[in-house]
Structure 1
Amino acid sequence: MTDEPLLRVSALSKYYGARLGCEDVTFDLWPGEVLAVVGESGSGKTTLLNCLSTRLTPSSGGVSYRMRDGSWRDLYRMSEAERRFLMRTDWGFVHQNPADGLRMTVSAGANVGERLMAIGDRHYGNIRSTAVDWLSRVEIGKDRIDDEPRSFSGGMRQRLQIARNLVTGPRLVFMDEPTGGLDVSVQARLLDLLRGLVTDLGLAAIVVTHDLAVARLLSQRMMVMKDGYVVETGLTDRVLDDPRAPYTQLLVSSILQV
């Protein structure tokens, strides 16, 4: 167990012209820790996630990542090729809409296998057997390995996207509303699956969600955002059971009243 964080975020801000995306966000993420970033639409949580995952360049502040050799790298001083390699190997990104994270016109097996090829695996038999193993881990039958994702249900597509992201053994996974748009029964199964995989693999994850039930189930720590600012942060159970910021109290009470 390391005594150093995996990710260090320092005074991160993002503006779109004069409009604030997020302002002065600072935190550390530890290996194996799941952080939920919650808030209503427009709170800045997706902007923050996109800056952390290098999909957006921040206006100011910094994000440093501890590489597998223990060295620290500033994500925005890396070359584009280095960042792309990191995203294919050490990181995963689970989109709300699985079509954004899958290649819809190639088979389920190829979607998983592409990630393996990105880290140098060239043995067809190994790639296919690993793909079968991962499909079974996300509850997709091996008889569907040659089917294209466009023939899958929304829940199956999301499970396939999770397999595609986790097959390379990433250390950090970004999730943007991973259960959004799915039926409640499908959400429950997916959350159960995600929680098991995150625990079994010892993944660190940053999960953006507006759903406090998702945050409670998946995360150990929570960050609450409003209008681009972090208004409260702490252990998930503490924040939800004893919210201190007026906005967090409002969020929690509105859930209780539903």
Structure 2
Amino acid sequence: MTDAPILEVRDLAKTYGARLGCADISFDLWPGEVLAVVGESGSGKTTLLNCLSTRLAADGGSIVYAMRDGSRRDLATMPEAERRFLMRTDWGFVHQNPADGLRMGVSAGANVGERLMAIGDRHYGRIRGTALDWLSRVEIAADRIDDGPRAFSGGMRQRLQIARNLVTAPRLVFMDEPTGGLDVSVQARLLDLMRGLVRDLGLSVIIVTHDLAVARLLSHRIMVMKDGRVIEEGLTDRVLDDPRQPYTQLLVSSIPQA
């Protein structure tokens, strides 16, 4: 890790009319760190993720991102075109439902290749070769490169979405319940793949999940949310092995029944 965070969040807040989405959220994310945001449905974790990734405009606070050139930029004041370019290149976003993160009408290879075209690559042979390499890295057979996502299983679609996101070598990846809706055996295989890729590529990741087993396996640090606020945070093993807040204790005690 470097001596400066890749993301600095201060006093972030979002409301939906009279309803609180999230409030008073402050933290730093470091290069190569995986931060899990956990909590029950309605806790505000998805609202937080969407604000951090600029998919939702926050109502207050600041999100400062360390650009590749070393400058630090407040995302709220960044021009829309520049933010959109970041989302296509330096960031990734892995959706719970792979169909939300894939172009379902084009081939697997084209899904991966589109991200390369977004950063200016126009050489068909090189794009196809890179797509083949990434399909291999996410355990999709080379002979499926021209198949569309609709011909894939849920687990394969999720692996394809991961390849599409990582092909441009992003430094920051947002993940929204990436194992949700998958069978347990498929989840285990996907988690093993994700853990290896995160480690090998040195990615910074913010992952939202209600599954504490996923948080334990993937994350270095954890934030527990309830009613739109962070009520406990710390190193993942410390929080899960010695939770201090009654709400966190309840979440941890529910793991065997999950």
TM-score with structure 2 length normalisation? 0.99
Letter in 2 for 1:156: M
Counterpart residue number, 2:129:
129
Distance in 2 separating the partners of 1:129 and 1:220: 34
**1:149 to 2:146 alignment:** no
**1:120 to 2:120 alignment:** yes
Deviation for aligned residue 1:95: 0.1
Counterpart residue number, 2:98:
98
Aligned runs of 1:164-183 on 2, under 5 Å? 164-183=164-183
Deviation for aligned residue 1:256: 3.5
Distance in 1 separating the partners of 2:221 and 2:101: 26
Counterpart residue number, 2:193:
193
Letter in 2 for 1:200: D
Deviation for aligned residue 1:255: 1.2
Distance in 1 separating the partners of 2:180 and 2:143: 27
Letter in 2 for 1:45: K
Query: Secondary structure in 1 aligned to 2:254?
Result: helix
Counterpart residue number, 1:85:
85
Counterpart residue number, 2:48:
48
Letter in 1 for 2:45: K
Segments ≥4 residues shifted beyond 3 Å: none
Counterpart residue number, 1:24:
24
Distance in 2 separating the partners of 1:83 and 1:115: 15
Counterpart residue number, 2:140:
140
Aligned CA-pair RMSD:
0.7
Distance in 1 separating the partners of 2:254 and 2:200: 33
Aligned runs of 1:227-246 on 2, under 5 Å? 227-246=227-246
Q: 1:150/1:257 Cα in 2 relative to 1: closer, same or farther (>3 Å)?
A: closer
Query: Secondary structure in 2 aligned to 1:103?
Result: coil
Query: Secondary structure in 2 aligned to 1:21?
Result: strand
Distance in 2 separating the partners of 1:49 and 1:254: 24
**What is the number of equivalent residue pairs in this alignment?**
258
Distance in 1 separating the partners of 2:154 and 2:85: 28
Distance in 2 separating the partners of 1:113 and 1:137: 15
Identity of matched residues, %: 83
Deviation digits for residues 169-208 of structure 1, max 9, x if unmatched? 0000000000000000000000000000000000000000
Query: Secondary structure in 2 aligned to 1:122?
Result: coil
Counterpart residue number, 1:75:
75
Deviation for aligned residue 1:257: 4.9
Distance in 1 separating the partners of 2:105 and 2:249: 45
